[in-house]
Structure 1
């Protein structure tokens, strides 16, 4: 069973193409995290919110990543992180074309 990690936090940018350029190294490093499957990057320049939807192989790997990521964000001065770890209902997700088996 795979697990979703939802994360969002206040951030004053960058967003859009600038975010893609500045955070591409981070994006590549996330691919190396234990248990990581994929991530959708989220952003709202209008409300200064950024984050992502991640899929991890196990709840433990999602928790480990969240712990590490929260510490990394704190290093950037971001201390209020909203996060949820949820299991995936694979049968219903498959019906609705979700990319998780």
Structure 2
């Protein structure tokens, strides 16, 4: 099994959250699908703590690093300066034991 890389990003966020976030960031979400090496992304949010972010799976560490730099620049252009990003190599055999979603999903119809 080829090594994949997980990118964890979080940052302070005052909203929107929930359905409003899904509506307002839909176009951004669709554009993220075109990032080199991206396998999938899970969007994260915590309205009570005022945080948002995502968990991404990339096919290479270089692609994860490139996307982290791009996303950090984008967030900074929106006035968000406290961006936390960490990259981890995924242990595929152990993740498979716990049903980790490490395969490329079949695209859904929009």
| Same fold per superposition (TM over 0.5) | yes
* Unmatched runs of 5 consecutive residues or more in structure 2: 104-110
SS in 2 for 1:20: helix
Runs of 4+ with >6 A deviation: none
Using structure 2 for the length normalisation, give the TM-score: 0.90
Using structure 1 for the length normalisation, give the TM-score: 0.98
CA positional deviation for 1:16: 0.2
* Unmatched runs of 5 consecutive residues or more in structure 1: none
CA positional deviation for 1:99: 1.1
SS in 1 for 2:99: coil
Q: CA RMSD in A?
A: 0.6
Matched, 1:28 2:30: yes
> What are the residue-to-residue correspondences of 1:1-101 with 2, within 5 Å?
1-100=3-102
Deviations 1:43-63 (A, max 9, x none): 000011000000000000000
SS in 1 for 2:71: helix
Task: Give the aligned partner of residue 108 of structure 2.
Answer: none
Once residues 92 and 80 of structure 2 are traced to their aligned partners in structure 1, the CA distance between those partners, rounded to angstroms, is 33
Aligned length: 101
CA positional deviation for 1:75: 0.7
Once residues 23 and 81 of structure 2 are traced to their aligned partners in structure 1, the CA distance between those partners, rounded to angstroms, is 24
